[in-house]
Amino acid sequence: MDRILSDPPPAESFPPIEVGPKDLSGYRFGNVGIDYVHRFTAAEPGPHLLLVGLMHGNEFCGMTALTALLEAGAAPTRGTWTVAFANVAAYERFDPAHPSLSRFVDHDLNRVWSPDVLDADASSVEIERARALRPAVEAADHILDLHSTILSFEPFWVIPHRGAPRALARTLPVPGTRVVMRPEGLQGTPLIAYGRFGDRQGDSTGLVAECGQHWAEDCQTVALACLIDYLRVFDTIDRDLAAALRPADPPAGPEREMEATVDYVARTADFRYARPWRGFDPVSKGTVLAYDGAEPVTCPHDDGFVVFSRPHPKPGGEAMTLAQLVTEPQA
């Protein structure tokens, strides 16, 4: 999710850094001609899974889960795994004194995934990296993109649409909460909505797992469980190895599904929340969420949740996302 902090709070206002970065230089040279990308193909045919960590440079859980897989010498029993460390340039800038600042170098790598951006003339660290990664993305059938959050939210899936990715997420127990997003509500296109991954009629899937707070031990546990479950669902990992690698009791959070309903963009410089929202706060129709200038911003429906809120949004910036609980029987 997009959580650019326009006014980064001081380091002491963040949760403690229980897990820090480690040296990834040994993973730089892969086998597909793209730095920090490694491909493993089994003799038996099967799905091509793209496993992504570090889309945001200070979100370590994808890095810890994927390096655990690589360090175990794991390889697919069928099909292909492509392991990609996405924004290593940002990751290498991590500074514990300013831990929110290495999310990206120039701008969010997870908002550039459209031909409009990738085929245009504009250049930046992130656009060039996306161009380099593009062949790996286009070769894949399915994408698992491992993320985390700046605040200690319940872990949750982000599902780009109601087609195949939603059905896949329903088969995965960790995280427990699933949120179907509104790509049209975001300021740019995330990887999981790129090309055919955004096609509601197609078989390709892209999922984001938001695994918990960036630097918490629990977050790394959720990410590793999520990764191993994902490889198991596609029947591409040795069962004994999967059992050995998967954490026993990851803190998955409650099992529930919701659909994003509102991506609220601040209109004025005098935008302020009615109270601090900590993530997945339940709200009802008419609950005052914030004040935008003199106008109260209210929840338009019952069974609502403030999925996340961004501190100090500027006019025209994404402020908060609301979702509504799905109460239909779940197939």
Calpha distance 11→20 (Å, rounded): 14
| Beta-strand relationship, 205-213 and 156-159 | antiparallel
Q: How far is the CB of 204 from Zn ion (least distance, A)?
A: 21
Residue closer to Zn ion (CB basis): 59 or 154: 59
The least distance separating Zn ion from the CB of residue 185, rounded to whole angstroms, comes to: 17
Distances (CA, A) of 154 to 93, 151, 185, 292: 27, 9, 22, 27
| Both structure tokens of 302 | 């019952």
Tokens 């493993």, residue located: 40
Task: Examine residue 56 and tell whether it contacts Zn ion (CB under 5 A).
Answer: yes
Burial label for 70, CB within 10 Å (0-12, 13-18, 19+), is middle
Stretch that binds Zn ion, among 147-155, 193-201, 213-221, 261-269 (CB under 5 A): 147-155
Q: How far is CA 284 from CA 26, 156, 298, 322, in A?
A: 50, 21, 9, 11
The answer to whether the Cα torsion of 307, 313, 150, 53 is positive or negative is: positive
Residue 229: which residues within 8 A CB-CB, separation 6 or more? Answer: 172, 173, 174, 246
Q: Does 214 bind Zn ion (CB under 5 A)?
A: no
Looking at the Cβ atoms of 47 and 57, the one nearer to Zn ion is 57
Among 39, 48, 147, 214, binds Zn ion (CB under 5 A): 147
Sheet containing 295-298: give its strands across: 271-273, 288-292, 295-298
Rounded to 5 degrees, what angle do the CA atoms 211, 215, 221 make?
45
Per-residue binding letters, 278-317, with Zn ion (x by CB under 5 A): ----------------------------------------
Q: Would you say 208 or 283 has its CB closer to Zn ion?
A: 208
Give min distance, CB of 229 to Zn ion, in A: 20
Residues 162-181 that bind Zn ion (CB under 5 A): none
In the complex with Zn ion, the residue whose CB is nearer, 80 or 194, is 194
The minimum distance between CB 68 and Zn ion, in angstroms, equals 19
Q: Which stretch binds Zn ion (CB under 5 A): 49-57, 128-136, 290-298, 320-328?
A: 49-57
212 or 251: CB nearest Zn ion? 212
| DSSP assignment letter at 233 | H
Q: Per CB under 5 A, which region of 56-64, 75-83, 239-247, 302-310 contacts Zn ion?
A: 56-64
Amino acid at 298: T
The total of other beta-carbon atoms located within 10 Å of residue 269's CB is 10
In angstroms, the CA 313 to CA 317 distance is: 6
Nearest approach, Cβ of 91 to Zn ion (angstroms)?
12
Residue with CB nearest Zn ion?
Answer: 147
User: Minimum CB separation from Zn ion for residue 298, in Å?
Assistant: 28
Only one of the segments 57-65, 126-134, 155-163, 279-287 lies at the binding site for Zn ion (rule: CB under 5 A); that segment is 57-65
Among the listed ranges 140-148, 198-206, 236-244, 246-254, the one in contact with Zn ion (CB under 5 A) is: 140-148
Q: Segment contacting Zn ion (CB under 5 A): 32-40, 52-60, 137-145, 183-191? A: 52-60
Taking the complex as a whole, the smallest distance from the CB of residue 147 to Zn ion amounts, in Å, to 3
Compare residues 57 and 165 and give the one whose CB is closer to Zn ion: 57
Q: How far is the CB of 124 from Zn ion (least distance, A)?
A: 18
161: CB partners within 8 A, 6+ apart: 180, 183, 193, 198, 200
Contacting positions for Zn ion (CB under 5 A): 56, 59, 147
